[in-house]
Amino acid sequence: MADSIEDAVSRALSDSPKRNFRETVDIAVNLRDLDLADPNNRVDESIVLPSGTGQNTQIVVFAEGETALRAEDVADDVLDGEDLEDLGDDDNAAKDLADETDFFVAEASMMQNIGRYLGTILGPRGKMPTPLQPDDDVVETVERMKNTVQVRSGERRTFHTRVGAEDMDAEAIADNIDVILRRLFTDLEKGPQNIDSVYVKTTMGPAVEVPA
């Protein structure tokens, strides 16, 4: 095992053969001593990475009026009430949108209709929108979510999440991993004792164990 998180990241980056595409860097977390059949024990967190994800994050905003106008400068797409109804009538288009989008944000006033039209598609994918309250700044919300990853275990003992990209500095990636592990330590019933092991790797590279 590496002596530190940064050491593990450095080894994972250096041991990865060069590819003709930009690889992501991910961690695999193995849990132990948890009954994951109980939803209360599952990991399901949105975590803002201090050094960013190193990748483009697709964000769609459901909004109207001034909020929609402001969102156009930062979101990948902005949809209004009519667009929402159209998606409700086209399951294939709705599924494609859900699969292509990392995060959704929606004005709180639209959440009920989103549940009505898209709940059966977004819900099972864990992609129901983050509600935007009247006092929230849509620009700040979207910019924050661009640096956010969803950490979700479901019923699986092992789960993965993105922590950066191969051309990021090892220290920056290590900072991201540290934030994720600290959140897990806080959320898990027995903290660090519920983590069996953690590995970091590039998309196609070998895994290196991370000290947790």
Block residue for tokens 């190193």: 54
Q: Which two tokens stand for residue 161?
A: 């999440």
Block residue for tokens 């990853």: 149
Which amino acid, residue 55?
Q
SS3 122: helix
| Residues 6 or more apart whose Cβ sits within 8 Å of residue 50 | 147, 175, 176, 179
Start-to-end CA span in the chain (Å) = 10
Report the pLDDT value the prediction gives residue 1, as an integer from 0 to 100.
63
Specify the length of the chain in residues.
212
In SS3 terms, 22-53 reads as CCEEEEEEEECCCCCCCHHHCCEEEEECCCCC
Report the pLDDT value the prediction gives residue 23, as an integer from 0 to 100.
87
SS3 175: helix
User: CATH homologous superfamily of domain 59-145?
Assistant: Ribosomal protein L1/L10, domain II (3.40.50.790)
Considering the segment(s) 5-54+148-210 as one domain, its CATH architecture is: 2-Layer Sandwich (3.30)
pTM: 0.83
The domain spans of the chain are 5-54+148-210, 59-145
DSSP assignment of 63-118: --HHHHHHHTTTSSEEE-HHHHHHHHT-HHHHHHHHHH-SEEEEEGGGHHHHHHHH
pLDDT tens digits for the chain (212 residues)?
A: 668 999 999 999 998 878 777 889 999 999 999 999 999 999 999 999 999 999 889 999 999 999 999 999 999 999 999 999 999 999 999 999 999 999 999 999 999 999 999 999 999 998 999 999 999 999 999 999 999 999 999 899 999 999 999 999 999 999 999 999 999 999 999 999 999 999 999 998 999 999 87
Report the pLDDT value the prediction gives residue 155, as an integer from 0 to 100.
92
- Burial of 196: CB neighbours in 10 Å, binned 0-12, 13-18, 19+: middle
